[in-house]
Structure 1
C-alpha cells in the first residue's frame, strides 16, 4: 500500500499503477449462479465511466449527498469508488428524500422515488444487463454508462478531509475510510495481497470494509458473495479452495 493514499479513489489509482491485471473483485450471486471477475483495470474502467456519468450527465459536485440503495454487488463497489473520485458523499441506506441523488436496485425503487434529484436504477442482472423496461422516473445505469469516457478527471480536486461516507450513523472522511480499512486489515491479520472471501452485506461498515475497502488497502482482492446462505458447507469449502482464498469473513 502507498502511505500517501488518502481516499479510496487514491487506493484504486495506486493499484492501477502497480498491478492493473490482478483480480480485484470476484462476485458470486448464489441465488442466480452468476460469477463475475473484474481485474483492477476493468474495475477502474467501470469506475471512470461511472464517475463521468456522475460528474457530467448527473451534474454532481463535491459535497452532494448520494443515497446508495444497493446490496453487496460489484456494481455497488463501482459506485462507491466513483463517488470517491468525484467527491460525492455516499449515504448507505440514506433517506432518499434528503439526498441530492439516489442510486437504487430493483427492489428499492419506490423508496428511491422520494428523491427530488437525479435517480439512477440498476437492474443488477448478470453481465450488467439493463432493465427490460426502464423504470419511470429513473435513468437505467446499464443504458447510460457504456458511452461515458474511459478516463476521468474531477473538475475540482477531492478534499481527503471532506465527508465521503455515512454509514452506521457516522460520517467518515476519505482519509478516515482509508485509515479504518488499514486498521481492519491489521485486526484481521491480512497480509499484503491477501484474497478475502466475505458474505457480509453492504449495509454497514463491516461489510463495506471486508467487501471493498480493506482488500484495496492491502493490495489484495475480494471474493464477494451475495446470498451465501444458499451455498452448502461443501460448496463453500470448494469455493475457498478454487478461488485460492487466504482469509474469510462470514
Structure 2
C-alpha cells in the first residue's frame, strides 16, 4: 500500500488504484447461509454511494458524530469507510442520544430513536435488501443508497489528525487507525494480496474491527468476515478455510 496513506479512505483509494478486481471483503452469515463477495471496485462503489448519502441527503459534516449500531457485516464495513471519506466520527456502539446521527440495524431501532438527528436503518437482509415496511422515523438505507452517485468528492478535505473512530472508549484519529492497523497486520503476518484473514470476531472492539477490516485493508490483503461463526462446525470451518484460501484465522 502507499506509505503516504493516512486515513482508512486513503487505504481504500490505494487498493482501488492497485487492483480493483481482487476480492476485498467476503461476507458469510452462518445463521442464514448468506455469502457475498465484494471486489475492491464493488466495495469502493458502495462506499462512494454511502458517502454521498451521508454528505448530501443527511447533511453530515466533518467532525459530526455518528452512532454506529451495527454488527460485524459487510455493510458496516462500508459505513466505516464512508465516515472516513466524509470526516465523520464513527462511534461504534455509541450513545445515540449524544450523536448527531445514528445508523442502526434491525435489532437496535428502539435505542436508535434516542438520536434527535438523522436516523438511518439497515435491514441487513441478503443482497442488501430493504425492510418490508420502513421503520417509522428512519431512512431505509437500501431504498436511498442505490440512487446516489458512483463517485464521491468531499466538500472539505479530511484531516487525518482529527478524530475518526471511537471504539472501546478510545478515540482514534484517521492516522491513528492506519498506524494501528499496519501494526496489527505486521503482527498477524498479513501482507499483500496473497494474505486472507478469516474473522469471526465482533465489530464491537478494536480487535474485531482491525481483524475484520482495517488490518487487511492496510496490508493490501482481503478479509473473510463471518457473522454467527458459532453456527459452523469445526469441519465446516476447515472446509471454508481451504476453499477461501485463508492464511490467518481469528475467532
TM-score range normalised by the length of the shorter chain: over 0.9
The equivalences for 1:74-223 within 5 A come to 74-193=74-193, 194-223=195-224
Residue aligned with 2:175, SS:
helix
- Quote the Cα distance in structure 2 between the aligned partners of 1:93 and 1:177: 17
Partner of 1:47: 47
Residue aligned with 2:147, SS:
coil
Partner of 2:232: 231
Partner of 1:35: 35
Q: CA offsets, 1:47-102, max 9 Å, x none?
A: 00000000000000000000000000000000000000000000010000000000
- Quote the Cα distance in structure 2 between the aligned partners of 1:191 and 1:91: 28
Residue aligned with 2:176, SS:
helix
Tell me, which stretches of 5 or more residues in structure 1 are unaligned?
none
Partner of 1:242: 243
CA contact (8 A) 2:67 2:96 kept: yes
- Quote the Cα distance in structure 2 between the aligned partners of 1:240 and 1:187: 20
- Quote the Cα distance in structure 2 between the aligned partners of 1:3 and 1:134: 43
Deviation at residue 191 of structure 1 after TM alignment:
2.6
- Quote the Cα distance in structure 1 between the aligned partners of 2:188 and 2:216: 11
CA contact (8 A) 2:120 2:139 kept: yes
- Quote the Cα distance in structure 1 between the aligned partners of 2:125 and 2:35: 11
The TM-score, its normalising length taken from structure 2, stands at 0.99
- Quote the Cα distance in structure 1 between the aligned partners of 2:178 and 2:5: 8
CA contact (8 A) 2:191 2:220 kept: no
Residue aligned with 2:120, SS:
strand
Deviation at residue 8 of structure 1 after TM alignment:
0.1
Residue aligned with 1:222, SS:
strand
Structure 1 segments (4+ residues) deviating >4 Å: none
Q: CA offsets, 1:123-143, max 9 Å, x none?
A: 000000000000000000000
Deviation at residue 175 of structure 1 after TM alignment:
0.2
- Quote the Cα distance in structure 1 between the aligned partners of 2:216 and 2:186: 12
- Quote the Cα distance in structure 2 between the aligned partners of 1:178 and 1:191: 15
Residue aligned with 2:239, SS:
helix
Deviation at residue 192 of structure 1 after TM alignment:
2.2
Deviation at residue 189 of structure 1 after TM alignment:
1.7
- Quote the Cα distance in structure 2 between the aligned partners of 1:136 and 1:192: 44
Deviation at residue 146 of structure 1 after TM alignment:
0.3
CA contact (8 A) 2:62 2:86 kept: yes
Tell me, which stretches of 5 or more residues in structure 2 are unaligned?
none
The TM-score, its normalising length taken from structure 1, stands at 0.99
Deviation at residue 187 of structure 1 after TM alignment:
1.1
